[in-house]
Amino acid sequence: MNAPHGIPTLRSVDHIAFTVPDLDEAVAFFTDHVGGELVFRDGPFADPDGDGMTRRLDVHPRAECTLAMVRLGRLNLELFTYTAPRRTTVRPRNSDAGGHHLALYVDDPDAAYAYLATVPGVTLMEGPNDVTADAPVKGQRWFYFTTPWGLQMEITSCPDGSFYRGLAGARMAPPAGQWQ
């Protein structure tokens, strides 16, 4: 990656992190239903007499957290759970500032949709949707769903291999069978 400008010595993204209400539930979902591998758990972390949690993580000084790292293919997913005074549990929608989702590439979005329909607590949005317009993602098929605790996720695919074709720096998901 080593761009000529920006953060010196930057090489890649290391991980993506989400705060979840129940760490065990989230780890089970990502290992049992997404195929991830639990790498480690750590914590709890707290600074009961100081302000280290605020200085390090920008949370309430009495906050406490525990984390787990789950490997999803080439992505490290860090899951946190917190206890903290005045903690909000309202999740942002995609249209809200701070809104987010995690997208997973599959070879067969119809099979993914059918499977996720059987997972307790998962809410499926409309789809799979087809991108037919002349667009950078022409041929893409996708749908959104939420995990049992409300994390927004997306399933996406472009079976003809044209995903982002011709765009600078564009790379498609690895070919089938190369998840790891």
Report domain 1-87's class. alpha beta
For residue 79, give the nearest of 19, 32, 5 by alpha carbon: 19
Q: What is the reported pLDDT for 147?
A: 96
Residue burial 12-34, b: 16+ Cβ < 10 Å; e: rest: eeeeeeebbeebebbbebbbebb
180 pLDDT band, cuts 50/70/90, is: very low
Domain residue ranges of the chain, discontinuous segments joined by +: 1-87, 90-173
pLDDT at 68 over 90: yes
Q: How far apart are CA 48 and CA 71, in angstroms?
A: 31
Distance of CA 139 to the CA centre of its chain: 23
Q: What is the reported pLDDT for 4?
A: 66
13 φ/ψ angles, rounded to the nearest 5 degrees: -80, 135
For range 142-150, the mean pLDDT: 94
Domain 90-173: which CATH number of 3.30.2130.30, 3.40.50.10860, 3.30.720.110, 1.10.1740.10: 3.30.720.110
Average pLDDT score, the chain: 86
For range 11-33, the mean pLDDT: 94
For range 61-71, the mean pLDDT: 96
Q: How far apart are CA 155 and CA 34, in angstroms?
A: 11
Task: List the 64-72 sheet strands across, edge first.
Answer: 16-19, 75-83, 64-72, 37-45
For residue 157, give the nearest of 135, 128, 126, 133 by alpha carbon: 128
For range 2-12, the mean pLDDT: 76
pLDDT at 51 over 60: yes
